[in-house]
Amino acid sequence: MSEQSFSEKIKTCRNRALKAWLHYLGYLCAWAAILLLVLASGVILDNTFVLQPGALYEVLHFVRSNVEIVFCVLLLAGWAVISYFYIARPIRDMELLMVSTAALAHPGDTPIRLPESMKNAENRLNLVREQALRNIQAARDAEQRKNDLVVYLAHDLKTPLTSVIGYLTLLQDEPELSPAMRARYTGVALEKALRLEDLVNEFFDITRFSLTHLELELQSVDLKRMLEQIVSEFEPTLRQKKMRCTLDLPQTLTVVCDPDKMARVFDNLLNNAAHYAYPASTVQIRAQQREGAVVLTFQNAGRTIPAEKLKRMFDQFFRLDSSRGTDTGNAGLGLAIAREIVEAHGGSIEAQSEQETIRFTVTLPA
């Protein structure tokens, strides 16, 4: 809630309190006026008509003889009833509201119940309770996915580490190895060491995502040049799967952004395409300038993603390939980090998948 809107709500509450106070005073004055009118009418009636002795005569005679006492008693009775509705009942409602609000700290499955006069407050509190329950469940799911992933990564660290130690031991124990075998063992050890580095980097990604506050260093950036450079860096990775990447960009594509973080967005999207696109397919990157915005699309051919998984593509630690092995994916943070960066720039990112086509659309303020 912005500071301005909060101030406006405080002002509205004060105005309502003032109106309630004026209504309270108005009812008290109206009750006093009614009493005076009734008592005056009774006195006039008693002076005008000669009544036979009876119940009505006794009442009117008593009122006339004790008019001040009767007026004060009735005035106090009316004041007590009016005060109950304007003071005691609101205090009771406020106590109920405070108890119900305190229950939101540990929301349960039982809905909050308030008196009928507080139905609006009851509905709002239940909406907050339901949202809190959804947030708690989402946090539990994310924590569970993170814990599972950490366990999987820790387990998978053993395999490349064992290979590295094994091949280095062979190189040390067999000094008479031929140059070809030595080169082969060295190459395998290097490959496993690089895989070990990837796994360690995934641990760092998890830690950074959990602890780092995103801060932007904005400047004018030529996205055309940035994309061309990133694509050129990905060529060896794409070449391994016989893939290629095409660019369809306008001559001028300039936005104000954090270049390092925006490069990470594009890197994550290309990395995602390299993992899940069909071999020997083409990744297409297009960009166009619209009124006040730059729209970029990353499209590749790949297995159609089910709708239920498509909705979770940007969740923390969600991996499209849910198998335990980490060779086909990473920590499941790439798209979550990409969304956080894009939204921090005031933009949006979304995913579509149909007919064996996967498309990511990034919209940035121009």
**Segment 172-212, tens digit of pLDDT:** 888 777 888 888 888 888 888 887 777 777 666 666 655 45
Residue 117: inside a domain, yes or no?
no
317 pLDDT above the threshold of 70: no
Residue 131 lies in a domain: no
Answer whether residue 236 is part of any domain. Answer: yes
pLDDT tens digits, one per residue of 40-61: 776 676 666 655 666 666 666 6
Q: The domain that contains 197 carries what CATH number?
A: 1.10.287.130
Question: Which of 211, 233, 248 marks a domain boundary?
Answer: 211
Q: Same structural domain for residues 281 and 179? A: no
Distance CA 243, CA 138 (A): 36
> Is residue 194 domain-shared with residue 290, that is, in the same domain?
no
Compute the average pLDDT of residues 319-348. Answer: 69
What is the chain's alpha carbon radius of gyration, rounded to the nearest angstrom? Answer: 38
- Statement to judge: residues 277 and 299 lie in one domain: yes
Q: pLDDT class for 360, splitting at 50, 70, 90? A: very high
Query: Is 302 found in the same domain as 200?
Result: no
| Domains held by the chain: number | 3
Q: Do residues 8 and 75 share a domain?
A: yes
Query: How far is residue 362 from each of residues 71, 73, 325, 349, measured CA to CA in Å?
Result: 76, 75, 30, 5
The percentage of residues in the chain with a pLDDT greater than 70, rounded to a whole number, is 80
Q: What are phi and psi of 246, to 5 degrees?
A: -115, 145
Residue 109 lies in a domain: no
Average pLDDT, the chain: 79
Q: Tell me: the pLDDT tens digits for 214-255?
A: 678 899 999 999 999 988 888 877 888 888 899 999 888 889
Maximum mean pLDDT: which of 105-109, 237-241, 297-301: 297-301
With respect to residue 128, please indicate whether it lies within any of the assigned structural domains. Answer: no
Q: Which domain holds residue 202?
A: 141-211
**Model confidence, pTM:** 0.51
**Is residue 159 located within the same domain as residue 234?**
no
Tell me if 310 is assigned to some domain.
yes
Query: Within this chain, do residues 175 and 242 fall inside the same structural domain, yes or no?
Result: no
State whether 261 and 335 are in the same domain: yes
Residue that finishes a domain, picked among 188, 211, 234: 211
Examine the domain organization and report whether 67 and 24 are in the same domain: yes
